Amino acid sequence: MMNRYNETGTIINFSARTYMNHKCICTYASDDEKFHAIIDDYGVMYSPDGKRLLDTVRQLKHYEVPEGVEVICDGAFCFSGLESIKLPDSLLAIGCNAFGNTRLTALTIPRNVRHIAPVNPIATNQLLLDKFECLSPYFKVVKGILYSKDNVIFYGAVTEDYPEELEILEGVKAIANGAMSHRAHLKSVSIPDSVTVMGDGAFHCSGVKKVKLSQNIDRIPAECFDDCRLEVFIVPEGVVNVDDSALGHNDNLITVIFPKTLKNMGYNVFSGCPSLTRISGPRKSNFMNLKDMQKAGLRKGVRSTRENCIIDSYESNMEGVTMHLHN
């Protein structure tokens, strides 16, 4: 399953040997490994054998990773201020969000890279790359979108020329964490039924207004559609969990429709949704009650057609939400 990423965009405790039948190379750098690290003149930290680039300890603009390095670890250059980088042919693996929140304008993935952790490698870059070149036969770029070569993993937009109306390729099984995060001109997305897993924050802070979800997912992950432009959101039958802040901060969200299969709803699912006026869900439900609605972020004027009562709280300025129950 996808693992939640922290505020730097790196996956926590990602230690799987395979992911969606793809062999994984460990990109996690432990505290012990960093304690025994060697730091070069630029403030870049390496394992003693020089094969693993672990982290950066100060800001840098331009850098050439030396030949012999096989792994760039999770978040290695994140927030480093990096403007350009050259990667060696010896490189085999790139960790979670290794280049996030940098100032890169171009990136070339060398020919021997066979593992990119299931997070968009520039997930938190609000400005996309002008040029992204992939020489590795294990990956491909289609209309500004990075995929695994076999289509199984959708890594997300890496250059500015991604489509406004995105149709993810059939055969994709996993959408990476932060795949389309901060992709402002994304207007709609169609997710094929082949997708079974969506990553945390996959569409966070994007411009998406319309979503067609896969019918074979069981979870809407944390912050997946947080801070978007949704108006109506229909959760497909089969979804069991809607995680924390999954739909939060959608100013235009009016209607949410839940399926009979839903069992759990996280914190602040609806937090910061001032236009939300209609929540529809099954009559025999574990979550369609006022207590869980408060947990989900509704704080004032929530009316239930089942209980005919109102929550009174100062924490929201919403005029009122009606919960419609159906068989």
At 287 the pLDDT is 72
- The whole-model pTM stands at 0.85
φ/ψ (deg, to 5) at 24? -105, 145
At 61 the pLDDT is 95
Per-residue DSSP letter, 293: H
Inter-residue contact 37 to 210 (CB < 8 Å) = no
Instruction: Please give the chain's pLDDT, 327 residues, in tens.
Output: 333 333 333 333 344 566 776 778 899 999 999 999 999 999 999 999 999 999 999 999 999 999 999 999 999 999 999 999 999 999 999 998 899 889 999 999 999 999 999 998 887 666 678 899 999 999 999 999 999 999 999 999 999 899 999 999 999 999 999 999 999 999 999 999 999 999 999 999 999 999 999 999 999 999 999 999 999 999 999 999 999 999 999 999 999 999 989 988 899 998 999 888 888 887 777 777 767 777 888 765 555 444 433 333 323 334 455 666 554
DSSP helix/strand/coil, 198: strand
At 325 the pLDDT is 52
At 127 the pLDDT is 67
Query: Which alpha helices (DSSP H) does the chain contain, by range?
Result: 31-35, 290-295
DSSP helix/strand/coil, 285: coil
Buried b / exposed e along 199-238 (16+ C-beta atoms within 10 A)? bbbbbbbbbbbebebbebbebbbbbbbbbbbbeebebbeb
Among residues 82, 90, 85, 117, which one has the least CA distance to residue 12?
117
> In which residue are the tokens 């520039």 written?
122
Q: Exposed (0-12), middle (13-18) or buried (19+): which is 185, by Cβ within 10 Å?
A: exposed
Angstrom distance (rounded) from CA 305 to CA 179: 38
